[in-house]
A and B are shown apart, each in its own frame.
Chain A
Amino acid sequence: MTAYSLHSMFGWLVWRDLILAWRRRADVLATVFFFVIVVSLFPLGIGPEREILRTIAPGVVWVAALLASMLSLGRIFGNDYQDGTLEQLMLTPQSTYLIVLGKILAHWLVSELPLVIIAPVLGLQFGLSQNSLAIVVVSLLLGSPVLSLIGSIGAALTLGLRAANVLVALLVLPLYIPVLIFGTGAVQASIGGTSPQPYLLLLGATLVLTLVFAPWATSAALKISVE
Protein backbone atom coordinates (compact mmCIF):
# COMPACT_ATOMS: atom_id res chain seq x y z
CA MET A 1 0.00 0.00 0.00
CA THR A 2 1.67 3.22 -1.10
CA ALA A 3 1.51 6.38 0.93
CA TYR A 4 -0.51 8.05 -1.79
CA SER A 5 -3.29 5.50 -1.86
CA LEU A 6 -3.47 5.40 1.94
CA HIS A 7 -3.79 9.14 1.88
CA SER A 8 -6.48 8.93 -0.74
CA MET A 9 -8.45 6.23 1.10
CA PHE A 10 -8.42 8.36 4.23
CA GLY A 11 -9.58 11.34 2.17
CA TRP A 12 -12.46 9.37 0.65
CA LEU A 13 -13.53 8.23 4.10
CA VAL A 14 -13.62 11.74 5.58
CA TRP A 15 -15.30 13.08 2.43
CA ARG A 16 -17.93 10.33 2.67
CA ASP A 17 -18.80 11.21 6.26
CA LEU A 18 -18.96 14.91 5.44
CA ILE A 19 -21.38 14.31 2.55
CA LEU A 20 -23.51 12.05 4.73
CA ALA A 21 -23.62 14.68 7.46
CA TRP A 22 -24.64 17.31 4.93
CA ARG A 23 -27.47 15.09 3.67
CA ARG A 24 -28.65 14.66 7.26
CA ARG A 25 -27.93 18.17 8.40
CA ALA A 26 -30.99 18.29 10.67
CA ASP A 27 -29.12 15.97 13.05
CA VAL A 28 -26.14 18.30 13.13
CA LEU A 29 -28.27 21.38 13.62
CA ALA A 30 -30.08 19.72 16.51
CA THR A 31 -26.77 19.39 18.36
CA VAL A 32 -25.89 23.03 17.80
CA PHE A 33 -29.34 24.23 18.87
CA PHE A 34 -29.15 22.09 21.98
CA PHE A 35 -25.86 23.76 22.89
CA VAL A 36 -27.22 27.25 22.22
CA ILE A 37 -30.38 26.67 24.24
CA VAL A 38 -28.72 25.08 27.25
CA VAL A 39 -26.14 27.84 27.51
CA SER A 40 -28.79 30.55 27.06
CA LEU A 41 -31.10 29.12 29.73
CA PHE A 42 -28.65 30.01 32.50
CA PRO A 43 -28.61 33.82 32.11
CA LEU A 44 -32.40 33.70 31.77
CA GLY A 45 -32.81 31.60 34.87
CA ILE A 46 -30.28 33.33 37.08
CA GLY A 47 -30.92 36.93 36.15
CA PRO A 48 -28.67 39.72 35.03
CA GLU A 49 -26.19 39.80 37.93
CA ARG A 50 -22.90 40.17 36.12
CA GLU A 51 -20.64 38.84 38.82
CA ILE A 52 -22.55 35.58 39.25
CA LEU A 53 -22.86 35.07 35.49
CA ARG A 54 -19.18 35.66 34.98
CA THR A 55 -18.34 33.12 37.68
CA ILE A 56 -20.51 30.39 36.27
CA ALA A 57 -19.80 31.07 32.58
CA PRO A 58 -16.84 28.69 32.13
CA GLY A 59 -18.64 25.80 33.78
CA VAL A 60 -21.89 26.39 31.91
CA VAL A 61 -20.26 26.60 28.48
CA TRP A 62 -18.11 23.57 29.05
CA VAL A 63 -20.82 21.38 30.59
CA ALA A 64 -23.16 22.29 27.75
CA ALA A 65 -20.44 21.38 25.26
CA LEU A 66 -19.96 18.00 26.95
CA LEU A 67 -23.67 17.26 26.86
CA ALA A 68 -24.06 18.41 23.26
CA SER A 69 -21.17 16.23 22.22
CA MET A 70 -22.78 13.26 24.01
CA LEU A 71 -25.86 13.71 21.85
CA SER A 72 -23.95 13.19 18.66
CA LEU A 73 -21.80 10.23 19.71
CA GLY A 74 -24.30 7.61 18.57
CA ARG A 75 -23.95 8.85 15.02
CA ILE A 76 -20.22 8.15 14.71
CA PHE A 77 -20.75 4.45 14.04
CA GLY A 78 -24.47 3.80 14.61
CA ASN A 79 -25.84 4.44 11.12
CA ASP A 80 -22.97 2.65 9.42
CA TYR A 81 -23.43 -0.30 11.72
CA GLN A 82 -27.10 -0.60 10.87
CA ASP A 83 -26.84 -0.54 7.10
CA GLY A 84 -23.80 -2.80 6.93
CA THR A 85 -21.37 -0.18 5.62
CA LEU A 86 -19.29 -0.39 8.79
CA GLU A 87 -18.50 -4.02 7.99
CA GLN A 88 -17.51 -3.01 4.51
CA LEU A 89 -15.26 -0.28 5.92
CA MET A 90 -13.58 -2.75 8.25
CA LEU A 91 -12.85 -4.94 5.23
CA THR A 92 -11.06 -2.18 3.32
CA PRO A 93 -7.30 -2.54 3.04
CA GLN A 94 -6.53 0.21 5.51
CA SER A 95 -6.00 -0.30 9.20
CA THR A 96 -8.96 0.05 11.52
CA TYR A 97 -6.93 2.67 13.40
CA LEU A 98 -7.00 4.95 10.35
CA ILE A 99 -10.68 4.29 9.67
CA VAL A 100 -11.49 5.25 13.24
CA LEU A 101 -9.28 8.32 13.04
CA GLY A 102 -11.00 9.41 9.83
CA LYS A 103 -14.45 8.98 11.28
CA ILE A 104 -13.47 10.88 14.43
CA LEU A 105 -12.03 13.70 12.36
CA ALA A 106 -15.26 13.93 10.35
CA HIS A 107 -17.32 13.80 13.53
CA TRP A 108 -15.29 16.60 15.08
CA LEU A 109 -15.61 18.78 11.99
CA VAL A 110 -19.36 18.23 11.81
CA SER A 111 -20.48 18.07 15.44
CA GLU A 112 -17.86 19.85 17.54
CA LEU A 113 -16.37 22.59 15.40
CA PRO A 114 -19.72 24.42 15.08
CA LEU A 115 -19.89 24.52 18.89
CA VAL A 116 -16.41 26.05 19.08
CA ILE A 117 -17.38 28.68 16.54
CA ILE A 118 -20.62 29.65 18.21
CA ALA A 119 -19.32 29.56 21.79
CA PRO A 120 -17.91 33.15 21.89
CA VAL A 121 -21.27 34.54 20.79
CA LEU A 122 -22.94 32.69 23.64
CA GLY A 123 -20.19 33.84 26.01
CA LEU A 124 -21.28 37.44 25.38
CA GLN A 125 -24.46 36.74 27.35
CA PHE A 126 -22.31 36.15 30.40
CA GLY A 127 -20.45 39.42 30.11
CA LEU A 128 -17.09 37.82 29.38
CA SER A 129 -14.28 40.08 28.23
CA GLN A 130 -12.77 39.72 24.78
CA ASN A 131 -9.72 38.09 26.21
CA SER A 132 -11.76 35.48 28.09
CA LEU A 133 -13.86 34.79 25.01
CA ALA A 134 -10.66 34.04 23.11
CA ILE A 135 -9.64 31.61 25.84
CA VAL A 136 -13.08 29.94 25.62
CA VAL A 137 -12.43 29.33 21.93
CA VAL A 138 -8.85 28.14 22.38
CA SER A 139 -9.76 25.80 25.25
CA LEU A 140 -12.66 24.35 23.25
CA LEU A 141 -10.45 23.96 20.19
CA LEU A 142 -8.01 21.89 22.24
CA GLY A 143 -10.61 20.10 24.33
CA SER A 144 -13.38 19.24 21.89
CA PRO A 145 -11.28 16.80 19.82
CA VAL A 146 -10.64 14.96 23.09
CA LEU A 147 -14.41 14.70 23.55
CA SER A 148 -14.78 13.13 20.09
CA LEU A 149 -11.83 10.81 20.68
CA ILE A 150 -12.93 9.57 24.10
CA GLY A 151 -16.56 9.49 23.01
CA SER A 152 -15.71 7.22 20.08
CA ILE A 153 -14.58 4.54 22.53
CA GLY A 154 -17.95 4.61 24.27
CA ALA A 155 -19.79 4.71 20.95
CA ALA A 156 -17.90 1.67 19.67
CA LEU A 157 -18.37 -0.29 22.88
CA THR A 158 -22.14 0.23 22.97
CA LEU A 159 -22.72 -0.37 19.27
CA GLY A 160 -25.89 -2.35 18.63
CA LEU A 161 -27.01 -2.36 22.26
CA ARG A 162 -30.55 -1.39 23.17
CA ALA A 163 -29.90 1.28 25.81
CA ALA A 164 -26.84 2.53 23.95
CA ASN A 165 -27.45 6.23 24.58
CA VAL A 166 -27.74 5.92 28.34
CA LEU A 167 -24.78 3.56 28.51
CA VAL A 168 -22.61 5.89 26.47
CA ALA A 169 -23.35 8.68 28.91
CA LEU A 170 -22.43 6.50 31.88
CA LEU A 171 -19.24 5.29 30.23
CA VAL A 172 -18.02 8.50 28.74
CA LEU A 173 -19.02 11.35 31.04
CA PRO A 174 -16.65 10.28 33.87
CA LEU A 175 -13.81 10.17 31.34
CA TYR A 176 -14.66 13.71 30.24
CA ILE A 177 -13.93 15.06 33.74
CA PRO A 178 -10.25 15.94 33.20
CA VAL A 179 -11.12 17.86 30.05
CA LEU A 180 -13.87 19.69 31.91
CA ILE A 181 -11.52 20.65 34.74
CA PHE A 182 -8.71 21.86 32.49
CA GLY A 183 -11.10 23.64 30.13
CA THR A 184 -13.02 25.53 32.77
CA GLY A 185 -9.76 26.14 34.64
CA ALA A 186 -8.32 27.95 31.65
CA VAL A 187 -11.35 30.22 31.27
CA GLN A 188 -11.59 30.90 35.02
CA ALA A 189 -7.92 31.81 35.13
CA SER A 190 -8.36 34.33 32.35
CA ILE A 191 -11.42 35.83 34.07
CA GLY A 192 -9.48 36.01 37.33
CA GLY A 193 -6.61 37.76 35.59
CA THR A 194 -4.04 34.97 35.87
CA SER A 195 -2.41 33.09 33.03
CA PRO A 196 -4.51 30.30 31.48
CA GLN A 197 -1.39 28.81 29.92
CA PRO A 198 -0.85 25.87 32.33
CA TYR A 199 -4.42 24.69 31.79
CA LEU A 200 -4.11 25.00 28.05
CA LEU A 201 -0.87 23.03 28.11
CA LEU A 202 -2.59 20.31 30.12
CA LEU A 203 -5.44 20.27 27.61
CA GLY A 204 -2.92 19.99 24.78
CA ALA A 205 -1.20 17.11 26.53
CA THR A 206 -4.55 15.35 27.02
CA LEU A 207 -5.25 15.84 23.31
CA VAL A 208 -1.94 14.28 22.28
CA LEU A 209 -2.41 11.39 24.66
CA THR A 210 -5.97 10.58 23.52
CA LEU A 211 -5.01 11.08 19.88
CA VAL A 212 -2.56 8.22 20.24
CA PHE A 213 -4.54 5.86 22.44
CA ALA A 214 -8.26 6.47 21.83
CA PRO A 215 -8.41 5.36 18.16
CA TRP A 216 -6.56 2.24 19.15
CA ALA A 217 -9.03 1.45 21.94
CA THR A 218 -11.92 2.32 19.64
CA SER A 219 -10.76 -0.03 16.91
CA ALA A 220 -10.41 -2.85 19.42
CA ALA A 221 -13.96 -2.14 20.63
CA LEU A 222 -15.27 -1.95 17.06
CA LYS A 223 -13.77 -5.32 16.19
CA ILE A 224 -15.60 -6.84 19.15
CA SER A 225 -18.88 -5.14 18.27
CA VAL A 226 -18.79 -6.11 14.60
CA GLU A 227 -17.79 -9.72 15.23
Chain B
Amino acid sequence: MLEAVNLECTRGDRRLFRGLNFSIKPGELIELHGANGSGKTSLLRILSGLSSPAQGEVRWNGKNIRSLGEEYSGAVSYLAHQNGVKDELSAIENLRIACGVSGNVLSKADAQTVLEQVGLSRQQNLPARSLSAGQKRRVALARLLGSRATVWLLDEVLTSLDDAAIKLARRFIGDHLRNGGLAIIATHQELDLAAERIQRIELSL
Protein backbone atom coordinates (compact mmCIF):
# COMPACT_ATOMS: atom_id res chain seq x y z
CA MET B 1 0.00 0.00 0.00
CA LEU B 2 1.28 3.42 -0.94
CA GLU B 3 0.41 6.33 1.34
CA ALA B 4 1.00 10.03 1.09
CA VAL B 5 0.97 11.71 4.47
CA ASN B 6 0.55 15.44 4.73
CA LEU B 7 2.66 16.13 1.65
CA GLU B 8 3.77 19.63 0.89
CA CYS B 9 5.70 20.70 -2.16
CA THR B 10 7.29 24.04 -2.92
CA ARG B 11 9.02 25.22 -6.06
CA GLY B 12 11.20 28.23 -5.34
CA ASP B 13 9.08 30.32 -3.01
CA ARG B 14 5.79 29.14 -4.50
CA ARG B 15 3.80 26.48 -2.70
CA LEU B 16 2.30 23.98 -5.13
CA PHE B 17 0.26 21.97 -2.66
CA ARG B 18 0.12 21.25 1.04
CA GLY B 19 -1.58 18.82 3.37
CA LEU B 20 -2.05 16.24 0.64
CA ASN B 21 -3.14 12.84 1.98
CA PHE B 22 -4.16 9.72 0.14
CA SER B 23 -3.58 6.02 0.15
CA ILE B 24 -3.80 3.50 -2.63
CA LYS B 25 -3.92 -0.29 -2.56
CA PRO B 26 -3.16 -2.88 -5.24
CA GLY B 27 -5.78 -2.89 -7.96
CA GLU B 28 -6.56 0.77 -7.45
CA LEU B 29 -5.99 3.83 -9.55
CA ILE B 30 -5.46 7.50 -8.84
CA GLU B 31 -6.02 10.09 -11.53
CA LEU B 32 -4.19 13.36 -11.02
CA HIS B 33 -5.80 16.33 -12.66
CA GLY B 34 -4.89 19.97 -12.64
CA ALA B 35 -3.79 22.84 -14.83
CA ASN B 36 -0.29 23.13 -16.26
CA GLY B 37 2.08 24.01 -13.48
CA SER B 38 -0.19 22.82 -10.69
CA GLY B 39 2.34 20.27 -9.46
CA LYS B 40 1.30 16.96 -11.05
CA THR B 41 4.83 16.13 -12.18
CA SER B 42 6.30 17.35 -8.89
CA LEU B 43 3.95 15.04 -7.01
CA LEU B 44 4.87 12.07 -9.18
CA ARG B 45 8.58 12.78 -8.68
CA ILE B 46 8.06 12.90 -4.93
CA LEU B 47 6.16 9.61 -5.07
CA SER B 48 8.95 8.06 -7.14
CA GLY B 49 11.54 9.11 -4.57
CA LEU B 50 13.46 11.31 -7.04
CA SER B 51 12.71 14.47 -5.11
CA SER B 52 11.77 14.93 -1.50
CA PRO B 53 8.72 16.79 -0.24
CA ALA B 54 9.07 20.04 1.69
CA GLN B 55 7.02 18.37 4.41
CA GLY B 56 5.30 15.08 5.04
CA GLU B 57 6.32 11.66 3.83
CA VAL B 58 5.49 8.90 1.41
CA ARG B 59 5.05 5.45 2.92
CA TRP B 60 5.27 2.13 1.16
CA ASN B 61 3.69 -0.67 3.20
CA GLY B 62 3.90 1.52 6.25
CA LYS B 63 7.55 2.53 5.95
CA ASN B 64 8.94 5.84 4.76
CA ILE B 65 10.35 5.41 1.25
CA ARG B 66 13.43 7.43 2.27
CA SER B 67 14.43 4.65 4.63
CA LEU B 68 13.52 1.88 2.19
CA GLY B 69 15.78 3.18 -0.58
CA GLU B 70 16.47 0.57 -3.23
CA GLU B 71 13.83 -1.78 -1.91
CA TYR B 72 11.21 0.80 -2.94
CA SER B 73 12.89 1.68 -6.26
CA GLY B 74 12.51 -1.96 -7.24
CA ALA B 75 8.74 -1.72 -6.80
CA VAL B 76 8.31 1.47 -8.84
CA SER B 77 8.30 2.29 -12.51
CA TYR B 78 8.12 5.94 -13.47
CA LEU B 79 7.21 7.03 -16.96
CA ALA B 80 8.19 10.68 -17.11
CA HIS B 81 7.64 13.43 -19.65
CA GLN B 82 10.96 12.49 -21.13
CA ASN B 83 10.89 8.98 -22.47
CA GLY B 84 14.28 7.97 -21.14
CA VAL B 85 15.05 6.39 -24.49
CA LYS B 86 18.58 6.47 -25.86
CA ASP B 87 18.74 7.75 -29.44
CA GLU B 88 21.86 5.72 -30.20
CA LEU B 89 20.30 2.40 -29.21
CA SER B 90 17.69 0.43 -31.11
CA ALA B 91 14.26 -0.17 -29.63
CA ILE B 92 15.16 -3.66 -28.49
CA GLU B 93 18.50 -2.57 -27.03
CA ASN B 94 16.77 0.24 -25.17
CA LEU B 95 14.30 -2.20 -23.70
CA ARG B 96 16.77 -4.92 -22.77
CA ILE B 97 19.33 -2.52 -21.29
CA ALA B 98 16.74 -0.57 -19.32
CA CYS B 99 15.45 -3.82 -17.85
CA GLY B 100 18.96 -5.20 -17.34
CA VAL B 101 20.13 -2.24 -15.27
CA SER B 102 17.00 -2.66 -13.13
CA GLY B 103 18.01 -6.22 -12.35
CA ASN B 104 15.29 -7.74 -14.50
CA VAL B 105 17.06 -9.46 -17.37
CA LEU B 106 14.88 -9.97 -20.45
CA SER B 107 15.91 -12.56 -22.99
CA LYS B 108 15.88 -11.47 -26.60
CA ALA B 109 12.71 -13.45 -27.24
CA ASP B 110 10.95 -11.90 -24.24
CA ALA B 111 11.96 -8.45 -25.38
CA GLN B 112 10.62 -9.16 -28.85
CA THR B 113 7.29 -10.25 -27.38
CA VAL B 114 7.02 -7.04 -25.39
CA LEU B 115 7.85 -4.91 -28.44
CA GLU B 116 5.26 -6.82 -30.44
CA GLN B 117 2.69 -5.94 -27.76
CA VAL B 118 3.38 -2.24 -28.22
CA GLY B 119 3.35 -2.61 -32.00
CA LEU B 120 7.02 -2.06 -32.67
CA SER B 121 8.09 -5.47 -33.93
CA ARG B 122 9.02 -4.13 -37.36
CA GLN B 123 11.03 -1.23 -35.91
CA GLN B 124 12.82 -3.17 -33.19
CA ASN B 125 16.26 -2.90 -34.75
CA LEU B 126 16.06 0.71 -35.87
CA PRO B 127 18.01 3.20 -33.79
CA ALA B 128 15.59 5.18 -31.64
CA ARG B 129 16.86 8.32 -33.36
CA SER B 130 14.86 7.40 -36.46
CA LEU B 131 11.65 6.64 -34.58
CA SER B 132 8.81 9.15 -34.41
CA ALA B 133 7.80 10.81 -31.13
CA GLY B 134 4.89 8.41 -30.75
CA GLN B 135 7.07 5.38 -31.47
CA LYS B 136 9.57 6.52 -28.85
CA ARG B 137 6.71 6.80 -26.40
CA ARG B 138 5.82 3.24 -27.30
CA VAL B 139 9.38 2.17 -26.44
CA ALA B 140 8.91 3.83 -23.06
CA LEU B 141 5.64 1.91 -22.67
CA ALA B 142 7.50 -1.28 -23.52
CA ARG B 143 9.95 -0.53 -20.70
CA LEU B 144 7.01 -0.19 -18.35
CA LEU B 145 5.65 -3.56 -19.46
CA GLY B 146 9.06 -5.17 -19.17
CA SER B 147 9.53 -3.97 -15.60
CA ARG B 148 8.13 -6.02 -12.77
CA ALA B 149 7.11 -2.96 -10.80
CA THR B 150 3.93 -2.91 -8.71
CA VAL B 151 3.63 0.86 -8.65
CA TRP B 152 3.24 2.63 -11.98
CA LEU B 153 3.69 6.39 -11.92
CA LEU B 154 2.68 7.75 -15.30
CA ASP B 155 3.10 11.34 -16.37
CA GLU B 156 0.88 12.23 -19.33
CA VAL B 157 1.17 8.69 -20.55
CA LEU B 158 -0.97 9.28 -23.64
CA THR B 159 1.11 12.17 -25.02
CA SER B 160 1.90 11.82 -28.73
CA LEU B 161 0.32 8.37 -28.95
CA ASP B 162 -2.06 7.64 -31.82
CA ASP B 163 -5.54 6.17 -31.31
CA ALA B 164 -4.36 2.59 -31.60
CA ALA B 165 -1.57 3.17 -29.07
CA ILE B 166 -3.92 4.94 -26.67
CA LYS B 167 -6.14 1.87 -26.75
CA LEU B 168 -3.09 -0.30 -26.09
CA ALA B 169 -1.94 1.87 -23.20
CA ARG B 170 -5.43 1.70 -21.63
CA ARG B 171 -5.41 -2.07 -21.95
CA PHE B 172 -1.94 -2.36 -20.38
CA ILE B 173 -2.93 -0.21 -17.43
CA GLY B 174 -6.14 -2.22 -17.00
CA ASP B 175 -4.19 -5.51 -17.07
CA HIS B 176 -1.68 -4.11 -14.60
CA LEU B 177 -4.43 -3.18 -12.15
CA ARG B 178 -6.11 -6.57 -12.50
CA ASN B 179 -2.81 -8.31 -11.80
CA GLY B 180 -2.45 -6.61 -8.44
CA GLY B 181 -0.60 -3.52 -9.54
CA LEU B 182 -1.49 0.04 -8.73
CA ALA B 183 -1.17 3.16 -10.84
CA ILE B 184 -1.05 6.89 -10.32
CA ILE B 185 -1.59 8.75 -13.55
CA ALA B 186 -1.27 12.44 -14.25
CA THR B 187 -3.46 13.27 -17.19
CA HIS B 188 -5.51 15.89 -18.97
CA GLN B 189 -7.67 13.37 -20.79
CA GLU B 190 -10.36 11.17 -19.35
CA LEU B 191 -8.93 7.70 -18.98
CA ASP B 192 -12.15 5.60 -18.71
CA LEU B 193 -10.41 2.80 -16.91
CA ALA B 194 -12.00 0.12 -14.81
CA ALA B 195 -10.43 -0.42 -11.41
CA GLU B 196 -11.43 -1.62 -7.96
CA ARG B 197 -11.39 1.95 -6.79
CA ILE B 198 -10.61 5.11 -8.65
CA GLN B 199 -9.63 8.26 -6.78
CA ARG B 200 -9.43 11.58 -8.44
CA ILE B 201 -7.09 14.23 -7.11
CA GLU B 202 -7.49 17.77 -8.36
CA LEU B 203 -4.47 19.99 -7.89
CA SER B 204 -5.27 23.66 -8.10
CA LEU B 205 -2.95 26.54 -8.83
Contacts and interface: CB of A to CB of B under 8 A. Distances in A.
The reply to whether chain A is a binding partner of chain B is yes
B70 interface: yes
Contacts of A50: none
A113 interface: no
A163 interface: no
A132 B50 CA distance: 49
A94 B88 contact: no
A89 B51 CA distance: 14
B103 A19 contact: no
B121 interface: no
Contacts of A51: none
Contacts of A49: none
Contact of A20 (B71, B84, B88, B100): B88
Contacts of A13: 101
A194 interface: no
B28 interface: no
A44 interface: no
B93 interface: yes
B86 A9 contact: no
Contacts of A213: none
B97 A16 contact: yes
Contact of A5 (B76, B82, B88, B103): B103
A222 to B, nearest CB: 11
A92 to B, nearest CB: 5
Given A94-B70, A95-B70, A24 B88 contact: yes
A22 B100 CA distance: 19
A66 B168 CA distance: 51
Contact of B70 (A85, A93, A226): A93
A138 interface: no
Q: Is the interface of A mostly helix, strand, loop or mixed?
A: helix
B69 to A, nearest CB: 7
Contact of A84 (B73, B82, B88): B82
Contacts of B73: 91-93
Interface in B74-91: 74, 76-78, 80-89
A93 B98 CA distance: 12
B87 A1 contact: no
Q: A interface, how many residues as a size bin?
A: 20 to 34
Interface in A90-107: 90-95
Contacts of B51: 226-227
A90 B102 CA distance: 10
Contact of A227 (B52, B102, B143): B52
A9 B82 contact: no
Given A1-B70, A92-B102, A19 B93 contact: yes
B135 interface: no
B161 interface: no
Interface string B35-55: 000000000010011111000
A6 interface: yes
A12 B49 CA distance: 23
Given A23-B89, A88-B98, A94 B84 contact: no
Interface of A: 1, 5-6, 8-9, 12-13, 15-16, 19-20, 23-24, 83-85, 87-95, 226-227
Interface of B: 45, 48-52, 69-71, 73-74, 76-78, 80-89, 93, 97-98, 100-103, 105, 143
Given A16-B97, A19-B97, A93-B73, 4 more contacts: A15-B97, A91-B48, A92-B102, A94-B103
In the A-B complex, the 5 residue pairs with the closest CB atoms? A84-B82, A12-B100, A93-B74, A23-B88, A84-B84
